[in-house]
Amino acid sequence: MRIPRVDLAGVFFDRGGSPTEPGSRLLRAVAALVDRTGGINGDYLPLEPKTVAQLQAITPTGPALGYCANEVGGETLVYYAPTAAVWRRSRDDVTISA
């Protein structure tokens, strides 16, 4: 099944790439789902775990989700903020680091 690309700017992310209030709630809900189900790379959330270095080498053209395997605070769901050109933890919006 192919899922069409949807422009999330203005709904879940502002034009600067930071999450809006609904976007923050969605990111927290997805992070909670991952924690509860262990769905890192399976039926629930098919995101391949990547290291901080691997994520920092990726420059998406817009907002993106990822799963960081070696972040300082432990494995976590992350998102890319395009205007800041950084990956941030979904739970507290802090820039990722190893």
Cβ proximity of 80 and 66 under 8 Å: yes
For position 42, what pLDDT does the model report? 46
For residue 49, report the phi and psi dihedrals to the nearest 5 degrees: -60, 135
* Domain positions in the chain: 21-89
Confidence of residue 8 (pLDDT cuts 50, 70, 90): low
For residue 41, what are the contacts with CB-CB under 8 A and spacing of at least 6?
47, 48, 49, 67
> Is the pLDDT assigned to residue 3 strictly greater than 60?
no
User: What are 51-64's pLDDT values in tens digits?
Assistant: 999 999 988 887 88
Give the C-alpha separation, 22 to 25, whole Å. Answer: 5
pTM: 0.59
For position 54, what pLDDT does the model report? 94
Give me 85's structure tokens. 């050109």
